[in-house]
Structure 1
Amino acid sequence: MALFCHGGTAASQAPPKDRALSLVRMRAFERFVRDDLGGRGVETALVRYRVAGWNGEAADAYQDVHWSIEALRADLGKDVPIVLVGHSMGGRAALKAGGDPQVTAVCALAPWTPPGEPVMQLRDQTVVILHGSGDRWVPAKLSADFAVRARRAGARVARFTTPAGTACCAAPTAGTGSPATSSWPAPVSNRCGPTWRTLCSCRARRVSRSRSDSSVGYRTAPRLPRRRRCPPCATDRPPPSWDPGSPGSPPRTSCSARTT
């Protein structure tokens, strides 16, 4: 199972917008992986956060990713390996949740990892980080420092950089002289390809065109046959849920703390 975690913002109590780029981006990647690997037994799911912000010590995105792992465990059992894939704030949430015993690997794309971000939970974990050296939103140095500290904590870390902004999907290079990647071979690729934003835009257009024919619809989701527990949340917040734009995700949940 590959669980995708979209990005967000530093502080916001508002729910993520349906057409927010951070959500559309991961919706496109989740669908790409599902279409490419679904026939090989790889299932995918995309979590939809309660609120768009990390919100300091509340770490709302992490709480929602943790809830998602628990929900998948209840649905699939304890023997199904889970790989976390997150971008920006979602990368931070995935790395923070990477210590769960059922998580077998974490892939962080241009992760937002402030100085001092915890790394001990990643001991003996496999971690892959991809970051654009020209990223103006999240400096690549942050993930480079995080990779070094995680490696020292006992994680198996491979970090790749690309020459473009944010993270690109082609022509990565191994590390930047960091000891966190010195033992990993460089990928064999000398070709330039589409940037992260270009690939996401193309995939998002395909998803938007095909969604009109989907039985799930854009703003609706299957009903939940049974209620699940979710982390405590304020009564004026929607609960975390499975993104309705991801047909491969488990049914959408409800929250007993929410009032109408």
Structure 2
Amino acid sequence: MTKIALITGATSGIGSATVRRLVAGGWLVVGTGRRKERLDGLARNFPAGTFHGAAFDICDRDATAAAIEALPPEFAAIDLLVNNAGLALGTVPAQHADRGDWRTMVETNIMALVDVTHRLLPRLIERRGAIINLSSTAATYPYTGGNVYAGTKAFVHQFSLGLRSDLHGTGVRVTSIEPGMVETEFTLIRTGGDKAASDNLYAGSHPLTGDDIADMIYWTASLPPHVNINTLETMPVSQSFAGFQVARGE
């Protein structure tokens, strides 16, 4: 039986790579995002009837509800939810951060994620499906400038564990995938389009790619239904844990 996945944030990076990987693996896929032209471009890569693009702002709860209710019947029975949409804004310490950026990260990385999840839980329970949430190594390892972004990803980690507990006995699997450095548009968005900053971050580091994470998502989703991966933490070999900080002479 063909399975159906809904992937948020499908217009770039990990999201679009995951769409490609799942369609290649025989899944039907709903991809969401704000940029309709990118969703239309994705659709042109796949056989007709294998991908449905739903263009809306995931932070708009009414638009989210309308898009989910408007799914074509052949895409409506969701077996897998991939909560990929998210972002980081700013790199400065908390005392210099923009509170608007903080609110945007909380709205996108937390509130939108829990809203989509809650709306799809009845379908996922009915299908004994799976939820894969994209967290980050920032949820575990702090770094200067991570502040609210790291806090939102720590929420995603803990929310995943809470879902796993609440969904006990339903057959629904829940996984938190927590990547380190992945070269996507992430840093461009975080720095307001500073390409030099993005290039400098990834230069010579052989970072993970969107395709790497998409393979992990596909593997996790394809495991037998009695197997649950609770948390999958991954980094490029070039990256390791941050050291402690010591301020002297204060």
Question: What's the TM-score once normalised by structure 1's chain length?
Answer: 0.32
Question: What's the TM-score once normalised by structure 2's chain length?
Answer: 0.32
Higher-helix-fraction structure: 2
